[in-house]
Amino acid sequence: MSKVRVRYAPSPTGYLHIGNARSALFNYLFARHYGGEFIIRIEDTDKARHVDEGESSQLNYLKWLGLDWDESVDVGGEFGPYRQSERNHIYKPYIEKLLAEDKAYRCYMTAEELEEERETQLKNGKQPMYSGKHANLSKEEEEAFIAEGREPSIRIRVPKDKTYTFNDMVKGELSFDSNGIGDWVIVKKDGTPTYNFAVAIDDHEMAITHVLRGDDHISNTPRQLMVYEALGLEPPQFGHMTLIVNEERKKLSKRDSGILQFIEDYEALGYLPEALFNFIALLGWTPGGEEELFTKEEFIELFTEERLSKSPAFFDKVKLEWVNNQYMKQKDIDKVFELALPFLVEAGRVKEDASEEELEWAKSLVQLYQPQMSYAAEIVELSEQFFKEDVSYDEAAKEVLAGEQVPELMDALKATFANLEDFTADNIKKAIKSVQKETGIKGKNLFMPIRVATTGETRGPELPNALELLSKETVLARIENVIQSL
Q: Left, alpha or beta for 459 (phi > 0: left; psi -120 to 50: alpha)?
A: beta
The overall longest dimension of the chain from CA atoms, in Å, is 110
Sign of the CA dihedral with 171 first, then 177, 182, and 183 last: positive
Residues 6+ apart with CB under 8 A from 395: none
> Which residues on neighbouring strands pair with residue 174, listed in sequence order?
166
Strand, coil or helix: 81: coil
Strand, coil or helix: 188: coil
Q: Where are the alpha helices (DSSP H) in 316-393?
A: 317-330, 333-346, 356-369, 379-382
Q: Which amino acid is at 167?
A: N
Q: How many of the other CB atoms lie within 10 Å of CB of 442?
A: 12
The answer to whether the beta carbons of residues 106 and 153 sit under 8 Å apart is yes
Chain-centroid distance, C-alpha 451? 38
The CA-CA-CA angle for residues 130, 133, 136, to 5°, reads 120
Residues 6+ apart with CB under 8 A from 54: 10, 11, 12, 13, 14, 15
Q: Which amino acid is at 48?
A: A
Q: Where are the alpha helices (DSSP H) in 232-287?
A: 263-268, 273-281
Among the listed residues 254, 310, 335, 433, the single catalytic one is 254
Instruction: Give me the long-range contacts of 347-351 (CB less than 8 A, separation at least 24).
Output: 347/380, 349/380, 349/383, 349/386, 349/387
Q: Is 254 a catalytic residue?
A: yes
Query: CA 162 to CA 178: how far, in whole Å?
Result: 5
Which residues are part of the catalytic machinery?
254
